[in-house]
A and B are shown apart, each in its own frame.
Chain A
Amino acid sequence: MSIDRRKFLKIAGLSGIGMGLSAADSLIKGKAHASEESSLPESGVRLALVIDVGKIRTDEDYKRITDACHSIHNVPNIPNTKHEVKWIWTDTYEHTFPDQTNEFIPTEMKEKPFLLLCNHCAKPPCVRVCPTKATFKRPDGIVTQDPHRCIGCRFCMAACPYGSRSFNWVDPRKYLDMNKVNPDYPTRTMGVVEKCTLCVERIARGLEPACVEASNGAMVFGNLADPNSKVRKILSTHYTLIRKPAVGTQPSVFYVIGGGENAG
């Protein structure tokens, strides 16, 4: 059966309209679905951290917390900031909360360093973009990674709005004292991306993350999905901030603002 030009154009036009309609339909549905979705997972566990910024005061406090994490995970201390690897670190108020544009906040807040780490987002963009599924979200909400599968494409680094991921540009072992490393935890190798894993290996043994343990009560760890958990109690009674709420990733790290004996 032959088909003439006129018929072909008619059919092509109709199919085009049909495809457009179905795409528009799925877009509308997709949007509606996203807005109704709860950030609490079906597993009933969403592990989270609350950081009381007022309770971390001295340089030693910050150092104790970051050292606790970096020493047990064999994170190298690379002086070149272009090559550095960081799981937990500090930055200024402006960089931590760029959406908070109030210039009249207390000077103490403005000048304070803030502890930063992976936010273990409820909607992690790094997981969405990873082509090998090397980075993935566990049912308990922890965004972790499988360095065995990482191909070093660094899409996750581009996707993360918090700069929480580090790429190993150089062999990390060159910057580690191999006689002092933690023999129970591997190092990483050149060409893979890494970040805070919320101490999955410690949580599996029933321990709290290393930073929480070293924080002397300034950081609290718990299950957001449980209304009676310690974290939920702090969140319901104190004013807290999350980083960059506008990007919609729904972080699981909350900052208690206001100082004093708030958290814990």
Chain B
Amino acid sequence: MYNGSKIIIGLIIFLAIATFPLYSNFGKSAVMPKPSIDTPVINQLDRKECVESAEYMKKEHMKVLDQWRDEVVREGKRDVITVGGRVFEKSLQNGCMQCHSNKSKFCDECHSYAGVKPYCWDCHFFKEEGQR
């Protein structure tokens, strides 16, 4: 093999760089996020219920929001969702955030863990915890 030593050294350097993310994190465990529902509104509820089960919302909340967005903005279907006698508006700002007013603990923690940067907050906003 011509220039065998150079090729092997090159391959080793390439592998070292390509696998850097693997071995640099080896043995360290990332802390699992624990989204908190500790907000004044939720604490006052007798039955802590959202529009769907917690399991479903964990997996599918983005699809729910996407569906609401199309229904409200494009189709003008602004009818509210009633679960267990409580009324929910189909809105991130006027629905979700009314109860989940702790954005940093409830939204951001998981999003940063998963490396997801939703651009919802470029336009939608919430009053900081405690200001509401």
Q: Which residues of A approach B to under 8 Å, CB–CB?
A: 136, 138, 140, 144, 146-148, 178, 181, 183-189, 200, 204
The reply to whether A136 and B74 form a contact with Cβ atoms under 8 Å apart is yes
Q: Does B69 belong to the interface (CB within 8 Å)?
A: yes
The reply to whether A183 and B76 form a contact with Cβ atoms under 8 Å apart is no
By secondary structure, the A interface counts as: loop
Q: Does B14 belong to the interface (CB within 8 Å)?
A: no
Q: Does B104 belong to the interface (CB within 8 Å)?
A: no
A183 and B93 contact, Cβ closer than 8 Å, known pairs A147-B123, A189-B123:
yes
Contact of B78 among A144, A183, A204 (CB under 8 A): A204
> C-beta contact mask, B68-109 vs A, less than 8 Å → 1, else 0?
010001101010000000000000011000000000000000
Chain B residues near A185: list those with CB within 8 A: 93
Chain A residues near B93: list those with CB within 8 A: 183-186
Measured CA separation A178–B121 after assembly (Å)? 13
Measured CA separation A184–B93 after assembly (Å)? 7
Shortest beta-carbon distance from A133 to chain B in Å: 9
Measured CA separation A107–B76 after assembly (Å)? 44
Contact of B123 among A140, A178, A187 (CB under 8 A): A187
The number of chain B residues touching the other chain, given as a range, is 10 to 19
Measured CA separation A137–B125 after assembly (Å)? 27
Contact of A186 among B74, B76, B123, B127 (CB under 8 A): B123
Contact of A146 among B73, B125, B126, B127 (CB under 8 A): B73
Chain B residues near A140: list those with CB within 8 A: 76
The reply to whether A204 and B76 form a contact with Cβ atoms under 8 Å apart is yes
Shortest beta-carbon distance from A146 to chain B in Å: 5
The reply to whether B73 and A186 form a contact with Cβ atoms under 8 Å apart is no
The reply to whether A138 and B123 form a contact with Cβ atoms under 8 Å apart is no
Shortest beta-carbon distance from A123 to chain B in Å: 20
